[in-house]
Amino acid sequence: MIEIYKKLPGTNCGKCGEPTCMAFALKVKNAQRKMSDCPYVTEADEGSFSQKPTVTMDDNYERVSNKLEEEVRNTNFKEAAIAIGGHYEIKNGGEIVRFKMMNKTYEVRKEGLFENNKYCHDSWSKIIVYDYVRRKGTRPLTGDWVTLGHFPDTASHVKAFQSKAEDKVAESFNKNMDGMKLRCKELRGSEESGKVKADYVCRFDLLPRIPLYLCFWEADEEFQASCKLFLDSSADVYIDIEYLAYLVERFVELFVK
């Protein structure tokens, strides 16, 4: 970790989304981040480390998804389906829980995660879905809208979330309110009003019990457009917040495509 740290500027600027260069170095060592995530790392320095890790980020994700798959196998599917807003049934003699994630239908079976009757190999989809099922969200949604920073231990994610999600939406639809509304419609969002005073508010159900509220303020002569994303204050009961932040980022990638 120290060898990695020595290649970093040591300014703790936070642009990589970590609070300090040391925290970043630790994550690179654990193959949770890449050297290139720090914008100040030169190609030569990046290369000097790229050969060394024996465990890659993909290996890590696969390991976590396999561990969660084991856990989900022992979860009571009937209880889980009720708690997370899924549909339970017996299909070909086996139990399944079916629900939508970002408008795509998934089936959790004792054998794993399936999409269109095919085993899903995407580690991140598996991690998110399995975590959502195994937690069996123990509290109803509160209806209170909060930002990511509301949840404990999220300080290091807030900056990255802002640049990878909120700023991305604002920049992509700056002076293009009609395009933004159209995209919301295409992704089956439903217009909301009330809680936050914004020029446009739209709700998306990323998972049946994970609503996302997109609030958008149009550009004017003085300011660029801006966007804020809100979650229900019970979201952390349904899914690990780090996974949720990633799910929102995936949604935004799709949204701005």
Residues in contact with ligand SF4 by the rule CB under 6 A: 8-9, 11-16, 18, 21, 24, 38-40
- Smaller CB distance to ligand SF4: residue 15 or 136? 15
Least Å distance, CB 33 to ligand SF4, is 9
Q: Residue 57: count other Cβ atoms within 10 Å of its Cβ.
A: 16
- Smaller CB distance to ligand SF4: residue 160 or 206? 160
Least Å distance, CB 190 to ligand SF4, is 38
- Smaller CB distance to ligand SF4: residue 14 or 208? 14
- Smaller CB distance to ligand SF4: residue 160 or 229? 160
Name the token pair of 9: 């500027």
Least Å distance, CB 17 to ligand SF4, is 8
One-letter identity of residue 58: D
Least Å distance, CB 64 to ligand SF4, is 23
